[in-house]
């Protein structure tokens, strides 16, 4: 019985921690200069929110997933920018993913610092 209770508590703890650690995807982000939405260009985001607190750029290969995974073919390479905004301890941090210079994903993260 003790083992079953311990196992259940462990599973609940892991579920809670994994939910708290992850972010949630949203379609917009509010900054002092306006609202950022999916499809916005990098220059628009900088105008509305300023420079990010963290930025990382990489090249990513796109593949055509219509074929089976072992026969996928490369479509091309895109530039992916990963930006993080930290608005302080009273606001959530946000991660913006740009593909070829346009916002492709906006994710709300944990509280800022």
Break the chain into its structural domains and give their ranges: 25-111
SS (H, E, C) the chain: CHHHHHHHHHHHHHHHHHHHHCCEEECEEEECCEEEECCCEHHHHHHHHCCCCEEEEEEEEEEECCCCHHHCEEEEEEEEEEEEECCCCCCEEEEEEEECCEEEEEEEEEECC
**Chain-wide mean pLDDT for the chain?**
80
Residue 56: pLDDT above 80? yes
Length of the chain as a residue count: 113
Residue 13: pLDDT above 80? no
What's the mean pLDDT in 83-101? 96
Greatest C-alpha distance within the chain:
60
pLDDT in tens, 20-53: 445 677 789 999 999 999 999 999 999 999 999 9
pTM comes to 0.69
| Distance from C-alpha of 13 to C-alpha of 6, rounded to nearest angstrom | 11
Q: Which CATH number fits domain 25-111: 3.30.1450, 3.40.1710, 3.40.50, 1.10.3470?
A: 3.30.1450
């Amino acid at each position: 019985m003790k083992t079953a209770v311990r196992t259940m508590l462990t599973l609940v703890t892991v579920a809670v921690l994994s939910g708290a650690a992850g972010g949630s995807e949203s379609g917009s982000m509010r900054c002092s200069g306006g609202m950022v939405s999916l499809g916005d260009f990098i220059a628009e985001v900088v105008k509305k929110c300023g420079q990010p607190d963290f930025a990382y750029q990489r090249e990513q290969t796109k593949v055509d997933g219509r074929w089976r995974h072992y026969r996928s073919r490369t479509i091309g390479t895109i530039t992916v920018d990963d930006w993080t905004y930290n608005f302080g301890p009273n606001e959530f941090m946000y991660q913006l993913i740009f593909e070829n210079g346009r916002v492709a994903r906006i994710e709300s993260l944990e509280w800022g610092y």
